[in-house]
Amino acid sequence: METDRPVADILMDVQARIAAACAKAGRRLDDVEVIGVTKTHGPDVVREAWDAGVRLFGENKVQEAAWKIPASVSGPSWHLIGHLQRNKVRPALGLFSVIHSVDSVRLIEQLERVADECGHRPEILLEVNVSGESSKDGLKPEQVPEVIEVALGCRSLTLTGLMTMAPFSPDPELSRPFFARLRACRDRWERAFAIGLPNLSMGMSNDYEVAVEEGATWVRLGTVLFGHRPVWRPQREDTERWEP
């Protein structure tokens, strides 16, 4: 893995690949943004990526983000990309401006209640399980219209798009049908509800070029930018600083 190369160098390669994928699909480069996924990495890595030009950062655990974000450079927009439990909504809303992993009506209702109470105005995406894999989080496509209905009735939440995870495969082409399916769902629900759902959060280190060809606007990149992840061991002080 390219752990020794500066993030700025790797990011240039990644941006070139994104540009090529955009050209192939007739898309504008401006419509695709990299989310640097810093889970298991420390504030030093956030700093390096920020200095390299990364502006959006993703974390998958509220508890980890709760110490890391205050310890990191200020300025990034932080995105929660991992599963959110309802009992962690309060700290999550204090940390993240975008929640990619909204997957139930009950979670939306809790988000709306706490956001309203605390004056937060988060953007939300609905996580859709387009592969049908039972191990994956996310809504089944047929459940989504009901959830959109509820989201549209929330005054503190803004629904701006959809997120998915393709089943892991070493061959990125195998992810393509799932990304295409998410985009088709998006197009259908935009028409059905007469709304815009501009954000498609799809594609990770192994399949982001294919995701861009299929319409991704946010690619979530960890390993390709930052190398293999160290095992995450919370420090005592980190846990103490965290209040649910």
Ligand X SMILES: *Cc1c(COP(=O)(O)O)cnc(C)c1O
Strands 56-59, 77-80: pairing is: parallel
User: Which residue, 89 or 211, has its beta carbon nearer to ligand X?
Assistant: 211
- Picking from 85, 157, 81, the residue whose alpha carbon sits closest to that of residue 122 is 157
* Contact call for residue 92 and ligand X (CB under 6 A): no
Q: Give me the least distance between CB of 130 and ligand X, in Å please.
A: 14
Round to whole Å and give the CA distance between 159 and 45. Answer: 30
CA distances from 89 to 28, 84, 169 (A): 35, 7, 32
Stretch that binds ligand X, among 131-139, 170-178, 201-209, 232-240 (CB under 6 A): 201-209
Torsion of the alpha carbons at 102, 104, 108 and 113, rounded to the nearest 10: -130
Round to whole Å and give the CA distance between 114 and 3. Answer: 40
Q: Give me the least distance between CB of 221 and ligand X, in Å please.
A: 5
Q: Give me the least distance between CB of 119 and ligand X, in Å please.
A: 27
Q: Give me the least distance between CB of 26 and ligand X, in Å please.
A: 25
* Contact call for residue 72 and ligand X (CB under 6 A): no
* Contact call for residue 204 and ligand X (CB under 6 A): yes
Answer for which of 21, 37, 114, 166 binds ligand X (CB under 6 A) is 37
Scan for tokens 């028409």, then name that residue: 191
Which stretches of the chain bind ligand X, using CB under 6 A? 37, 39, 60, 81-82, 165, 204-206, 220-224
